Every structure is written in C-alpha cells, then in structure tokens.
Chains A and B, each alone.
Chain A
Amino acid sequence: MFWQGIPWSYAAVGAAVGGGTVIALFFLKVRYPELQVPSVMLWRAAKPESRRTVLWNKLEHWLHLLCLLTAVMAIAAALAQPVWRFREVPPVAVVAEPSALKDAEKVAAAGDPGQTVLIAAGAAPEVIRGFRSPPAPHAVPPENGAINRSDALRLARQWTADRNGRVFFFGASAPPWLPENGFWVRRGLPAEPTGPPPWRIYFSGVPRPDSLPPGITAAETPEGADVIVDDLENWGTPKGWAKLFGELRALRGFHADGLQHLSVSESEAGTLSKEIGSMRLSNGLWLLAFLLLALDLWWWTRRKLV
C-alpha cells in the first residue's frame, strides 16, 4: 500500500480535525434544548407508532455518528489516494514532449497506477503523474520552447533501470538517445504489424489460440509463415504481445530510419504498458463516502419527517 495524493500524515491530521468537528456538531445538533410543556399527549399521538426495539433506539444515534465519521475518514483517505499493490510489475516511464502530452496522458493513465510515471520533457523534467505528484498537465506549458529531452529520459531511466522497466518517449522528432527497453512512440505508425500483409503465423506443436489480432492470420504450414510460434506462454498478455511484436517489428520495413527497431505505435505502447499490478482505492473511497453520506441524509430526513 502506498499513497499517491497528499501525504498520509496530512490525511490523518485532516481526518482527526474533520472527525472532531463532526463529533462536536453531532452533539450540538442531536441534543435539542429541553422544553418543559404541560403535556406531550398530542405530540405522542402525532408521532407514528414506533416498532423499533429499545436496543435500536440506543444504538440509533451512535450508528448515525459512526456513519458520519466513516465518511470523513473515507474522504481523508481518498485525498491521500491510496494504491494497493497486489503483485509486482515492471515499472513504466512515459516521457512526453509538451506537444504530445495529451497522447502520453492516455497511455500513462491506462498503465499501472503505482508503477507508471509520466514525465514532461520541458525546460526541466517534471513528473506530472506517478510518484506522489498530483496530475498536472498544465505544469509544462506547450508554448515553452526550451525542451530538454535528455534530462527527462535520464530521469525515466533512473525510475526503470533497476527493475527492468520500459520507457516510452512521445515526441514529434526522434529522441537523442533511448535507454534499454526504451521505445519511441510514433504517431501514424500502424497499430498492427502490417508490413506486407497479411502476417502469417504458424503455431508449431501448440494449439492455435481462439483469437488473433487484426492483420494476422494463422498459417497451416510452416512454409510461407512469417513467424513460427512454438510457445503459447504469455499469449494475449502484454508480455506475449511484446514478444510477438518484437519479432514482427524486424520484418516491417517501412520507416527505414535508424530507429525503426525502437518505434512502436500508440496502441502498441498502450498494450505494452498495460500490465496492472496495483489498484487505486481512491475511487472506491469516494464512492463509499458518498454512499454513507447519502444513506445518512436519507435516514436523517426520514427521521425528521415522522
């Protein structure tokens, strides 16, 4: 478990302050001023018959308070944006020039929330998603002419190198260099490896899978097949697609620049960075807080009506 929003200590302080306020307001609100009256006979007749047990009458107020406190705690925790990591996945760094920040945002948003960082290559590299920085696409203004790609890529390598992660560079022109497992995401590159179509795959000694990506057909014989697959391990997973695309990429042949072997399309980048190993809990916490408050409001309103 780790936090992506405000530091957890801040959230704890916020929760304590909010909880204290709720408790204070609760007692101020619930304890109506006592008013001595000649008789409550007609008020008793006006109130509907209550079938609640004595125990429920006693617990009623405390459940109401508990509901409010839980909602406050959930809001504070949601602000801290907790992320639950249930398995280890390789980290992904998405480096983007300001002009390509929007596309990079999509890829970064689809990646693992705990292992994907989005680094804007501005005058100075700035992490705008991931780590503990809140998302702030406006942090690097697009009109900022001074772009330092090298420092941004260095920061990305620092994040990914020791855990065999991948780096995706979003830019209009070729990056000055790319770290190991680095890819240049080029706009307009075909999503599927469609060199001289169709690509034909022969499955050797393994059963043919039910689904194949578009542009790829299964060959009946090894002769004439572009790729021979003899291992279905990781088939259909990002890792499996990376392996297949890696083999097909060498056969592609139309972007005959020096970085052809490092180029991927946006959809390929999305597929390669989509390995999920952790889960954001903030949305669930917001939902929980909303439901609790709605339930509490409904109950309170209903109680007031009768």
Chain B
Amino acid sequence: MNHRLFPAEFLRLLDGETLPAIRTVRSPRPGRHLSAATGDSQEFQDFRSYMQGDDLRYLDWNIFRRSRKLFLRRYRHFPDTGHILVLDTSASVRFSWKRASTAWRLAALLGAQLLAGGDRIQLQCPGIEPGKHSYHGRDSIWDLCETLSTVWDGKADNRPPHAPRQKKAKCWVVSDFYDSEGLPELEKRLKNAAFIPVRIYDAEEYDPAFYRQSCLVDSETGTRITVAESRLLSERYLARMQDFEALLRKVGERAGGRLFRMKTSLSVNDLFENYRREFAQEGV
C-alpha cells in the first residue's frame, strides 16, 4: 500500500460509514440501490392481492389459511449489473503529484462507495494491467486500494481512457479527458460514448492569464504552443473549455448521470468533503 498516496486519515474515510448515503433511484441502476421494481431477492418488501397469472410460488399460504384470501409476497429487486471504474493513467493525469493523487484518491473513494453499497466493480487502467480486476463487497475496498497503489507505480500510458461497451454496466471514467490527438478527435471519439465522466482539473486551467506569454509544452506529446498576451485568444480558450465540458456533460447525461468535476490540490479532508457534496445528490 502506498501510504503517501493513501494515508491513514484517508483510509479511515473509506470505511463507508461517512460516504454519501444510498438513495432510492427512479430507474433500475446497477448495485444495491433501492429500486421501485420488485424482484426475487431474499428481502421482503410488501404484499399485494393475487391476480390471475401471478406466480403461485409467491403466495402467502399463512394469510390464506387465516383469512381465506390470496396475497402475494413481494421481494425487493437488486439488479446486479456491475460497475466499471476506469482510471486514466496517462501522462497528463500523472503530470503533477496533485493531479495524480487527486485522480487516484477519487477512484478509491468512488470504488469504496460502490463496494460499500454492495456493488460489484471492475477496475480498468488503460495501458496497465492491474493485478486484480473484479471487486465485490465491503472487504474489497482494501484490495482496491492495494491495486491502485500498484497501478501508481506502473508506467504511464498515453492512450486515452475508453469506456468498454458492456451492456447494463455503468462505467465511471476518472480522467482529465485531455486527448493527445486534440479536441476534434476527442469529439469524434465521444460521439456515441456512454459513460459517466469524473473530471479532475487544476484551478489555473480556468484562468488563461496564468499561461500568457509562455511557450506551453504538452506533457504527453511535447507539442509546443506559444501563447501571447491576447484577450481574443483567452476568450477563445474559455469558449473551447465550455465546449469541452458541454461535450462531457452530454456524454454523462447519455449514460444516465452527469459530469462530475473535482479540483486538484485539495487536502484529504477537503477532497472528501468536496466528494460528498458532489456525489451526495446523485446517490451513486
């Protein structure tokens, strides 16, 4: 376990008790969310009157014996379709400690929350083979952290993260979503994509003045771009940023979620608080 990446105070937060509460969702979503639909689990939900064609196996014979009326026992529905957690390990995410640590911790928090809820998750790190792919149950949280620590030491890969096409699986992608091929290429790739983007960003990315009169060097490709002091260029940059986030938002909504954003350079506690605020309303 990498204790610099996952210090004790962070691991304490992963026990699931303090993570955002599980909420009822309207549509059947993967994992142990309370669902409006009934199913064949062991957990009793309620009774209803028998209707022609109902499965006789669910008839409550005790009630019938006492009241001579037919009631059907209904059980909760727990769709078990799984989650896929994709962690981008490209050079742009590993660019700095604050970016990389935020991405890794975010993946750990997200994974812990899903596992604490009884979900099954599958970890994918493009370009790196994690020792263990599948995790299930609260006890797997520590295994997940171990694996993420191993991945941390793996070699960076510039391949952009991609969401596997797996039906009924909800795919969470933790990344900055910077494509080495450029914005048009990214737009083309995400045209039909369906995953929930969890984007990490540095605060200065929204401040073009920070970059002016500099020769910017891309950490992935080494491409150089000279940024002169120009209001017009700054406005165009911010407009592209808006387009970029609108695209990610659209992708997230297509997958039944939204775009989650997380600022880097936060302390462990601040990161956790921000995570709670950001994800609590979703009830993942």
Q: State A99–B220 Cα separation when bound (angstroms).
A: 80
Interface string of A45-56 (1 = CB under 8 A from B): 111000000000
The answer to the question of B191 belonging to the interface, with a C-beta cut-off of 8 Å to chain A, is no
The answer to whether B233 touches A306, judged by C-beta atoms less than 8 angstroms apart, is yes
Are the C-beta atoms of A36 and B233 separated by less than 8 Å? no
A46 to B241, alpha carbons, bound, how many Å?
9
Q: Are B176 and A38 in contact (CB under 8 A)?
A: yes
Give Cα distance in the complex from A33 to B214, angstroms: 5
Q: Mark A9-50, 1 if CB is under 8 A from B, else 0.
A: 000000000000000000000011111111111111111000
**Taking each of B91, B95, B225, which has the highest tally of chain A beta carbons within 10 Å of its own beta carbon?**
B225
A44 contacts B225, C-beta separation under 8 Å = yes
Contact of A38 among B182, B202, B240 (CB under 8 A): B202
Interface range on chain B (Cβ under 8 Å from partner) = 35 or more
B61-105 interface code vs A (CB 8 A; 1 in, 0 out): 000000000000000000000000000000111011001000000
A43/B228 contact (C-beta < 8 A), A36-B219, A38-B99 known = no
Closest chain-B Cβ to A187's Cβ sits at a distance in Å of 61
Q: Give CA–CA (A36, B91) in the complex, Å.
A: 12
Structural contact, A35 and B99, CB atoms closer than 8 A? no
Residue B59 is within 8 A (CB to CB) of chain A in the complex: no
A31 partner residues in chain B, CB cutoff 8 A: 215
What B residues does A305 contact at CB under 8 A? 230, 232-233
Contact partners of A36 in chain B: CB under 8 A: 95, 217, 219
A41 near B178 with CB under 8 A, answer yes
* Residues from 86 to 144 in A contacting B, C-beta threshold 8 Å: none
Are B217 and A46 interface neighbours, CB within 8 A?
no
Residues of A within 8 A of B226 (CB): 32
Q: How far is the CA of A42 from the CA of B213 in the complex (A)?
A: 16
Knowing A32-B213, A35-B216, A45-B182, the reply to whether A40 touches B230 (Cβ < 8 A) is: no
Whether, in the assembled complex, A255 has its beta carbon less than 8 Å from a beta carbon of chain B, the answer is no
Chain A interface helix/strand/loop/mixed: mixed
Contact A37 B217 (CB under 8 A): yes
- Provide the main secondary structure of the chain B interface: mixed
Q: Mark B201-241, 1 if CB is under 8 A from A, else 0.
A: 01000000001011111111001111111101100110111
User: With contacts A33-B215, A38-B99, A304-B228 known, is A46 near B180, CB below 8 A?
Assistant: no
Q: How large is the interface on A (under 10, 10 to 19, 20 to 34, 35 or more residues)?
A: 20 to 34
- Do A42 and B220 form a contact, CB below 8 Å, given A33-B214, A35-B211, A305-B230? no
- With A32-B214, A32-B226, A34-B214 in contact, is A39–B219 under 8 Å at CB? yes
A43-B225 in contact (CB<8A): yes
Tell me which residues across on chain A come within 8 A of B93, comparing CB atoms: 38
Interface flag for B183 (CB, 8 Å): yes
A39 touches B233 (CB 8 A): no
- State the 4 A-B residue pairs at the shortest beta-carbon distance, nearest first: A39-B178, A38-B92, A45-B183, A46-B236
Q: A36 to B215: give the CA distance in the assembly, Å.
A: 8
